[in-house]
């Protein structure tokens, strides 16, 4: 009984000292190192040893309880996936992303299925959450059908789950960022009109009132809309901009304009192709591609493609991003082989069987097609 009373008194006395230090600081003339060497501080060793789960620290200058560690903003360069057997997912697997209002950003909640849901579900399910939890809070919360309560911080580059977290690799961070940008912008931007500035800039370029910057092979050149047909064939007098579509290709919430250019042979083996217009600042940049790219364009920005021969590779892709010299592509689902036939198959970035590949292609075909408009001043004025 006396020992219990002694322990209680010791705890009360220490609390009073700590409160006094916090209130008076260094001006009180008390140094923490001196406090640690006092008999009463040494007595605390006895308290910690005799009271189960007691967590008392006189040296913690951070004010953070538990074993929270700092975070060094370093992306992982090592394998951070646990060993596992390949899982199978239905394409209608649903994932939900939510974000609270913070730092000037609006709150949002988005639910989606399809390839993005499958890719994110598979990644989150098998990450190695063996690192300690850092102090910074998640920016997004994610729930999947195979696991809930994931906390993701894209700024710090980590995913948190249960009592652990894991640093992402650069590729994983890019994958998650792309999925988030794509899905959030689709949810918030489906009914979003093109901004007035973008409207006027694109309209002026399409009507020939303003130039655009043509990007090709790392070089840039200023051109106007009437120069476009000659980019594909200078000798074909019938080469012309036939149609155009307005759609967000890279999931950033801003639309691109795609021109469909054809000549005397139409789109069947001719020298025509596509021109993609993307706005950077107050300028419009143009990027060309052949007639085997941006085929069967869908409203979510995905499209079919094949290599120039049509026998070495074919699949489904989307635009990952734009720069002032080029654009990059993300090949999502594809098959490769020779003139003898396909021998390698990938679907949703995963190696699959031919049957699974064909199933993914079939689901792509069922998506809603992008709308194309005849390239006329009337249609340009109507849409912009």
Divide the 384 residues of the chain into consecutive groups of 10 and give the mean pLDDT of each group.
50 50 41 42 38 37 42 79 83 84 69 87 93 88 93 92 92 91 70 59 94 90 94 87 93 91 65 90 91 90 88 91 89 89 91 94 92 94 89
Structure tokens, 191: 């009914």
| Euclidean distance between CA atoms 318 and 251, whole angstroms | 9
pLDDT at residue 234, rounded to an integer: 86
Q: What angle do CA 181, 184, 188 make, to 5 degrees?
A: 130
pLDDT at residue 62, rounded to an integer: 35
pLDDT at residue 72, rounded to an integer: 60
| Euclidean distance between CA atoms 68 and 55, whole angstroms | 14
pLDDT at residue 52, rounded to an integer: 38
pLDDT at residue 217, rounded to an integer: 83
Bridge-based pairing of strands 240-247 and 256-262 is antiparallel
pLDDT at residue 264, rounded to an integer: 65
What is the SS3 assignment for 362?
helix
| Euclidean distance between CA atoms 245 and 17, whole angstroms | 72
Cα-Cα-Cα-Cα dihedral of 254, 266, 368, 122, to 10°? -70
Stated pTM of the model? 0.51
| Euclidean distance between CA atoms 7 and 47, whole angstroms | 7
Helices H / strands E in the chain, number of each: 8, 18
pLDDT at residue 275, rounded to an integer: 95
Break the chain into its structural domains and give their ranges.
Answer: 2-50, 95-189, 196-383
């Amino acid at each position: 009984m006396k020992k219990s009373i002694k322990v209680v008194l010791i705890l009360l006395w220490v609390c009073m000292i700590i409160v006094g230090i916090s209130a008076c600081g260094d001006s009180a003339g008390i140094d923490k190192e001196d406090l640690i060497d006092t008999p009463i501080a040494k007595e605390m060793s006895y308290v910690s040893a005799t009271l189960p789960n007691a967590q008392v620290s006189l040296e913690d200058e951070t004010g953070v309880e538990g074993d929270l560690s700092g975070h060094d903003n370093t992306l992982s360069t090592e394998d951070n996936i646990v060993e596992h057997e390949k899982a199978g997912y239905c394409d209608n697997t649903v994932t939900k992303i939510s974000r609270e209002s913070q730092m000037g950003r609006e709150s949002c909640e988005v639910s989606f299925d399809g390839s993005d849901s499958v890719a994110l579900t598979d990644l989150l399910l098998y990450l190695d959450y063996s690192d300690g939890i850092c102090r910074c809070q998640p920016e997004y919360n994610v729930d999947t059908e195979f696991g809930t309560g994931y906390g993701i911080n894209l700024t710090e580059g980590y995913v948190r789950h249960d009592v652990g977290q894991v640093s992402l690799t650069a590729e994983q961070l890019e994958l998650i960022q792309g999925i988030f940008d794509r899905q959030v912008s689709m949810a918030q931007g489906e009914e979003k009109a093109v901004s007035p500035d973008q409207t006027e800039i694109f309209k002026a370029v399409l009507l020939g009132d303003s130039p655009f910057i043509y990007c090709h092979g790392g070089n840039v050149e200023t051109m106007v809309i009437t120069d476009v047909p000659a980019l594909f064939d200078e000798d074909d007098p019938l080469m012309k901009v036939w149609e155009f579509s307005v759609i967000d290709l890279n999931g950033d919430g801003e639309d691109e304009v795609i021109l469909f250019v054809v000549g005397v042979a139409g789109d069947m083996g001719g020298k025509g192709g596509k021109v993609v217009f993307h706005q950077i600042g107050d300028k419009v940049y143009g990027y060309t591609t052949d007639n085997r790219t941006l085929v069967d364009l869908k409203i979510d920005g995905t499209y079919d493609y094949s290599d120039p021969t049509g026998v070495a590779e074919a699949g489904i892709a989307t635009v990952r991003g734009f720069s002032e010299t080029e654009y990059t592509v993300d090949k999502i689902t594809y098959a490769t082989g020779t003139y003898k036939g396909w021998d390698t198959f990938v679907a949703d970035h995963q190696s699959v069987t031919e049957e699974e590949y064909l199933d993914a292609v079939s689901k792509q075909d069922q998506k809603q097609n992008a709308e194309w408009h005849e390239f006329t001043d009337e249609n340009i004025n109507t849409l912009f």
